[in-house]
Amino acid sequence: MTSHVQLPEPTAEITAVQDDLVTLAPIADAPLIKNEVVYILPHGPERDGKPAEYLKAEVLRVRGQSAEAQVFESTAGVRVGDKVIQSGEMLSVALGPGLLSTVFDGLQNPLADIAAEHGFFLPRGVLTNALDQSRKWAFDPKVISGQGVKAGDTLGTVPEGRFEHKIMVPFSFSGEWTVERVREGSFTVNEVVVTLKNARGETRDLTMVQHWPVRRAIPEGLVKGGQSERLYPSEPLITTLRLIDTFFPIARGGMGCIPGPFGAGKTVLQSLISRFSAVNIVIVVACGERAGEVVETITEFPHQPDPSGDGTLMDRTVIICNTSSMPVAAREASIYTGITLGEYYRQMGYDVLLIADSTSRWAQAMRETSGRLEEIPGEEAFPAYLDSSIKGIYERAGVLKTASGATGSLTMIGTVSPAGGNFEEPVTQSTLGTVKTFLGLSSERAYKRFYPAVDPLLSWSRYHAQLDGWYRENIGPDWVGRVDEMIELLRHGDEITRMMQVTGEEGVSTEDFVIQQKALFLDMVYLQQDAFDDVDVSAPLARQQETFDLVYRIATAEFAFDSKDAVRKFFTEQTSRFKNMNYAVDGSSERSRLFQEIEAAVGAVSAVPRA
């Protein structure tokens, strides 16, 4: 996988070094450009007969004739006077067949190929290819000679596992082009498959790979050209997690965040979302986590069956994680790499889910870089542009009608790790001002073994009204109203619980005690879900609706109890029955029996059931 591409001659040199930040000055007429990729040669073209090291860096700021760049590798041995090669390109990723089932680092280096060729650590200064250069792909053309095409149009397809990978006109192309020549057969990613010609007589040979700068959203140029159209997210992303789908939904193509302290269950929750959500492609960006959670994801996904179809979870997944030997600059770049890959598959018309874990580490990487640049700091020393950077990332999610007429979506869910679970810190607050679903994890609920440990009194979703039309058409006209009613029950029940902590049960009336028990019942049987049970781990929407209808009937019924002990006994029994029903398979005699027992028990103590 090592690249032997000949780079141009050096045109700049190092004038200062500070950790992974270097200052450059030109030695030729080539201007230094912001966000340009440069390569530092710390020991010249050759050292002791060994190949030269090319340290990849990105220009962050240009000031007059000098520029400052962040280096994506160790700067040990880099000194003043070392030569620098300018690539003339922005920090980009390779887009083409072979991305799925691959584990990359933050700069799109394939870790498995690196391990096979170099061992478990990437040697410094080695250039690698993101995609396999020798594998042949069966290219099926979808255009003919003389046909007019434009940026984003499909030229042909290749099978990538069970997916149809579209080879498209590069997104950077402008104007109309005509197909001059097209080939059919099996080719490597670097072989020419189509030749295009424009009105000026210019020709372009196209392979199955194109490159795109990660800090630019792919749809941007296409929308300006009038070839694509952003659509309003109007359907929920079905995760099969009751708490999310029913109470705090995320729109398909929408934005959500999962903040919480360490140990509250962020990793488990995002793992289940990535496994069971109704999407085609999943991109996991471990932009800060380097511990056992990432190792577990990498080792388990290739062996876990994909609930949405044949094969394993890894067949539809791309994992981007930073290795422990990479500096913070690569951590900052990884999230842009992941979201660009997500946009690429969205352009093909697929539904993509991007999970970033955790954006707090990404923001901390920005803080370190900003400090070295001596920029004016904002709150808690984060850069003053933290808010706009977070918004710029999340706003790349959305639903897009592509140039070919296909509709794809990119849903982004980011986890945040505020120190001490403090949701008032800058990263969490900036994220809350951007996303429309907030799933706040609670250490208190995690300590009580409530899973998922999402606090329903802290969490919210602004998608209820936006998705109301879908709910009315697919579930019922009163679904959103009933959910709001249950959220209010949880709030009322919490108020009574707090009162009881001061006064004891004797300090509240039987009526209030019933409300508190109803809220606890709702929490125990519906908001909690067993991640280790083969049935309860995933609740399809139809099962959720059936379960919620029964819970709602119990929560809104008027009961006649003669004592608080009778209240406690009744709800304890129904909670036990309900949990067992959650473990029972749909259509089984066990589930039917428990359902009937619950209905009978409710009828025996109901006074005047609510209509």
Tell me if 309 is assigned to a ligand binding site: no
Contact 225, 150 (CB under 8 A): yes
The mean pLDDT value for 257-276 works out to 89
Q: Sorting pLDDT into bands at 50, 70 and 90, what band is 223?
A: very low
The mean pLDDT value for 213-239 works out to 78
CA atoms of 602 and 84, how far apart (whole Å): 77
C-alpha distances out from residue 6 to 45, 208, 209, 476, Å: 12, 21, 19, 63
Burial class (CB in 10 A: 0-12, 13-18, 19+), 20: buried
Looking at every residue in the chain, the average pLDDT score rounds to: 89
Contact 529, 241 (CB under 8 A): yes
Strand, coil or helix: what is 6? coil
Choice among 146-150, 287-291, 559-563 with the minimum mean pLDDT: 287-291
CATH architecture of 1-89: Beta Barrel (2.40)
Both tokens of 487, joined, read 């959220």
CATH number, domain 479-605: 1.10.1140.10
Is pLDDT above 70 for 182?
A: yes
Give per-residue pLDDT as tens, 476-535. Answer: 999 999 999 999 999 999 999 999 999 988 899 999 999 999 999 999 999 999 999 999
Is pLDDT above 80 for 66?
A: yes
C-alpha distances out from residue 393 to 321, 362, 492, 547, Å: 18, 11, 37, 37
CA atoms of 384 and 362, how far apart (whole Å): 15
Tell me if 260 is assigned to a ligand binding site: yes
Is pLDDT above 80 for 60?
A: yes
pTM here? 0.93
Both tokens of 365, joined, read 């990487």
Give per-residue pLDDT as tens, 521-567. Answer: 999 999 999 999 999 999 999 999 999 999 999 999 999 888 999 99
Tell me if 266 is assigned to a ligand binding site: yes
- Residue 420 Rama label (left phi>0; alpha psi -120 to 50; beta): left
Q: In this structure, what DSSP letter does residue 406 have?
A: -
Choice among 227-231, 371-375, 549-553 with the minimum mean pLDDT: 227-231
Q: Sorting pLDDT into bands at 50, 70 and 90, what band is 51?
A: low
Q: Are strands 398-401 and 229-231 parallel, antiparallel or unpaired?
A: antiparallel
pLDDT of residue 127: 80
Tell me if 263 is assigned to a ligand binding site: yes
Strand, coil or helix: what is 436? coil
Contact 164, 404 (CB under 8 A): no
Both tokens of 198, joined, read 């424009």
Superfamily of domain 242-462: P-loop containing nucleotide triphosphate hydrolases (3.40.50.300)
Is pLDDT above 60 for 50?
A: no
Q: Residue 99: phi, psi to the nearest 5?
A: -75, -40
Q: Which is higher by pLDDT, 220 or 330? A: 330
pLDDT of residue 325: 65
DSSP E strands, 53-199: 55-63, 66-71, 83-90, 92-95, 103-104, 137-141, 148-149, 154-160, 163-168, 177-182, 185-187, 194-198
Strand, coil or helix: what is 289? coil
Full DSSP string of 358-397: -HHHHHHHHHHHHHHTTPPB-GGG-BTTHHHHHHHHHTT-
Q: Sorting pLDDT into bands at 50, 70 and 90, what band is 46?
A: low
Is pLDDT above 50 for 609?
A: no
Which amino acid is present at 244?
A: I
Place of tokens 């030997």: 325
Q: Which is higher by pLDDT, 45 or 235? A: 235
Return all residues near 139 (Cβ < 8 A) that are at least 6 apart: 156, 157, 158, 167, 183, 184, 185, 186, 187, 193, 208
Give per-residue pLDDT as tens, 436-465. Answer: 999 999 989 988 889 999 999 999 999 998
Is pLDDT above 90 for 303?
A: no
pLDDT of residue 549: 95
CA atoms of 409 and 233, how far apart (whole Å): 9
Is pLDDT above 90 for 146?
A: yes
CA atoms of 350 and 342, how far apart (whole Å): 9
CA atoms of 282 and 411, how far apart (whole Å): 10
Is pLDDT above 50 for 610?
A: no
Q: What are the boundaries of each domain within the chain?
A: 1-89, 137-208, 242-462, 479-605
| Alpha-helix residue ranges (DSSP H) falling in 226-326 | 242, 266-276, 292-300
Q: Sorting pLDDT into bands at 50, 70 and 90, what band is 44?
A: low
- What is the share, in percent, of the chain residues with pLDDT greater than 70? 92
Q: Sorting pLDDT into bands at 50, 70 and 90, what band is 266?
A: confident
**Fold assignment, 137-208:** OB fold (Dihydrolipoamide Acetyltransferase, E2P) (2.40.50)
Tell me if 262 is assigned to a ligand binding site: yes
Place of tokens 């006064």: 503
